[in-house]
A = this chain, B = another copy of it.
Amino acid sequence: MSDLLERLRGRGWRMTSQRRVVAEVLDGDHVHLTADEVHARAAQRLPEISRATVYNTLGELVSLGEVIEVATDGRAKRYDPNAHHPHQHLVCSRCGTVRDVHPTGDPLADLPTAERFGFMVSQAEVTYRGLCPSCA
């Protein structure tokens, strides 16, 4: 994750303790935290950090393409740091748990030009839904 900190510094980010802590919290595999969970974990290391800062930092990381926002349902968005390896998501309909998955095939290729209605289509997100082992 120091890679990430380096990349951010290279993009002109002012490196503050808050940003460092948020980036560190997101470090790790297959972690899909909500903004509030990120805030709670960040606050363990930096008790004064505010919710607004966490939201700001997450938003910046998303717009830089370093983190992916996953809208699970009506619930809170989750943040996925695994942004540099293309993948899709498997969501538990009951508890909201998210896993990264790697389907075969390319969904973008499955959308014929006639079905694009003049849109400049740039992305296809696949969300698989079902019950996780604990909820089934």
Question: Which A residues contact B (CB, under 8 angstroms)?
Answer: 71, 73-74, 77, 90, 92-93, 99, 101-105, 107-108, 110-112, 115-133, 136
Contacts and interface: CB of A to CB of B under 8 A. Distances in A.
Contacts of A124: 126-129
A119 B123 contact: no
5 contacts: A71-B73, A90-B117, A105-B110, A120-B130, A124-B129
A111 B112 CA distance: 21
B112 A104 contact: yes
Copies in the complex: 2
A37 to B, nearest CB: 17
A115 B107 CA distance: 17
A120 B131 contact: yes
Given A71-B71, A73-B71, A74-B77, A122 B129 contact: yes
Given A118-B132, A123-B128, A123-B130, 16 more contacts: A71-B71, A90-B111, A90-B115, A90-B119, A90-B121, A93-B122, A99-B117, A101-B111, A103-B110, A104-B112, A105-B105, A107-B110, A107-B128, A120-B130, A120-B136, A122-B130
